[in-house]
Chain A
């Protein structure tokens, strides 16, 4: 009972955060909303029993990406966006998105039984998997991150020849 309640609470947090990200005009509020969303997601991960993942999520996303966004907004003086749902296109996009959600649910319906937390997902087991069976993928992930770092530097660096 209480797990279900917890789930609903986390879900509400997540959705509220997402809604703010989508709809608000001011950038600062959007950052807050994104933060709320990410925390909600982390909470849900934890609810499912994936503790390591939840913590990693908070560190990386909330601590890293969100701060990066915040830096971008404040350093470049991005203040506010246009009003949400301002043009016909917005309504069309809303329809498409609603349609997407419906269609996805219909497509994946049969494959997922009731959501329930799971136990026994320990850090040790994850480490075994990552550095054992999935070592190549792990290494490649490292390379990808490095490439991303280099790319970001290159993009910011170049483009002075206008």
Chain B
């Protein structure tokens, strides 16, 4: 139970960071926080489930994909910074 609460709080906190932070690196970091929270929850479920080993494998997948996502995110960040835009309020093309 408590792990559930912890995981949910972590996810929510990460979301806050995604929504609020202006610097793109900070946003990426917050995404990592959310991922961490989600996989924590996954692990907790696996521990309580029938095949914990599969749960570990699953969590490894999440780990790998999360790392890949961070790498692509940094790549995007680099190309944006090259154009001089490194803050979220500078990227507003999709405007109504």
Contact = CB atoms under 8 A, between A and B. Distances in A.
Interface of A: 7, 11, 14-15, 18-19, 21-22, 27, 30-31, 34, 37-38, 41, 44-45, 48-50, 52-53, 56-57, 60-61, 64-65, 68-69, 72-73, 76, 78, 81-82, 84-85, 89-90, 93-94, 96-98, 100-101, 104-105, 108-109, 111-118, 120-122, 125-126, 128-130, 133-134, 137-138, 141, 144-145, 147-149, 151-153, 155-156, 158-159, 162
Q: Looking at chain A's contact residues, is the secondary structure mostly helix, strand, loop, or mixed?
A: helix
A80 to B, nearest CB: 8
23 contacts: A14-B6, A15-B13, A18-B13, A18-B33, A22-B16, A37-B36, A38-B36, A41-B39, A48-B46, A49-B52, A64-B67, A72-B25, A72-B77, A100-B8, A101-B8, A105-B8, A109-B1, A115-B3, A121-B52, A129-B51, A130-B57, A149-B68, A156-B75
Interface in B78-96: 78-79, 81-83, 86
